[in-house]
Amino acid sequence: MSNVTVSSSANKVSSTSPLRSGFWLVVFGAALWGVDPLFRIILLKSLTSSQIVLLEHVVLFLAASPVLWRHRAELKGIGFRQIGALLIVSWGGSAGATILFTMALSSGDLNAVLLLQKLQPIFAIGLAALILKERLPKNFGILIIVALVGTYLLTFGWSIPFGHVNNFIGVSSLMALGAAALWGGSTVMGRYLLGSMKYETVTSLRFILALPLLFVITTLEGAPWQINGGFGASAAIAINLLLQALLPGLLSMLMYYKGLSTTKASFATLAELSFPMTGVIINWIVFQQLVTLPQIIGFALIWTALFFISSQQSKAQTL
């Protein structure tokens, strides 16, 4: 249900039309995550992954602290359930899932890990039904299949990404499944929090609460902080770090949580499939990688599924 009260049926229909639905804010917020490699590539030449994430969250902490202070009155009503949900969102979704996924990529079969990570919507939809008691609309299962097939084609094309079942058996596969479960759970817990908190507050707490854990992880890593190349290199790192934190970081999450506040978690998890589509577009425009026919078909399948899901979401809000 939308938390916006309207005074006429005409306004009600307009506020829930597919093109103005919060569902599409989730789509565009997730799509912004796809521009992250543009900035991360330069940063990885001088910093480790954990150092980049830590510095990014320092920037986000500075941006989010004034917002959280403004909405500090909401913190008085936080109970144990909200604290647990916040830890899942910040420690699980922001830190734990990323670490597990990175470790899986470095130690296992790449294609198997990527394919297993695509199971994230299944975890989110199951948890949404269990925890949030969300009911799925008619034909929703078909749209899930269409979206997942589209994502598969974007990632692997016509090829079969594995040659033997043993590629799916091992520690790396468990870590990939763990990352998918944590990301799916983060979506559901974020939706739960938005039932009692403003999206600005949830966004701020996600960044702020993840910072101590990232500091501990980076300290235990023990990698030296070395930035070579003089002032020019330092300035480039600072600019890319700032852009990475503010665009695929802060702006994307503000859009994401604002949209999630009026979108079912089971719908939102499929809206997040806009992320791999952005990756294909970035690879084509920036890195001059040819877009294949299977990727075009996958792109069309995902956007078709997203449009119909948005339409169902809007119809449900008018009831």
Average pLDDT, the chain: 82
d(CA 135, CA 78): 27
What would the mean pLDDT of 242-271 be, rounded to a whole number? 91
What would the mean pLDDT of 291-313 be, rounded to a whole number? 86
If one compares 312 and 187, the residue with the highest pLDDT of the two is 187
- Summarize pLDDT for 151-179 with one digit per residue, the tens: 888 878 887 765 555 555 677 778 888 98
Percent of the chain with pLDDT over 90: 34
Which pLDDT score is estimated for 110?
65
If one compares 168 and 298, the residue with the highest pLDDT of the two is 298
Residue 239, token pair as written in the block: 């600019």
- Summarize pLDDT for 6-27 with one digit per residue, the tens: 333 333 333 444 445 789 999 9
Which pLDDT score is estimated for 181?
92
Residue 278's pLDDT band (cuts 50, 70, 90):
confident
CB count in 10 Å sphere of residue 298: 25
Side chain identity at residue 238, one-letter code: A
Residue 187's pLDDT band (cuts 50, 70, 90):
very high
Which pLDDT score is estimated for 219?
93
Which pLDDT score is estimated for 34?
81
Which pLDDT score is estimated for 211?
92
pLDDT exceeds cutoff 90 at 68: yes
Indicate the length of the chain as a whole number: 319
If one compares 287 and 257, the residue with the highest pLDDT of the two is 257
Which pLDDT score is estimated for 11?
36
- Summarize pLDDT for 40-64 with one digit per residue, the tens: 777 877 888 888 889 989 999 999 9
The residue among 208, 212, 309 whose CA lies nearest residue 259 is 309
Residue 283's pLDDT band (cuts 50, 70, 90):
confident
What would the mean pLDDT of 298-315 be, rounded to a whole number? 84
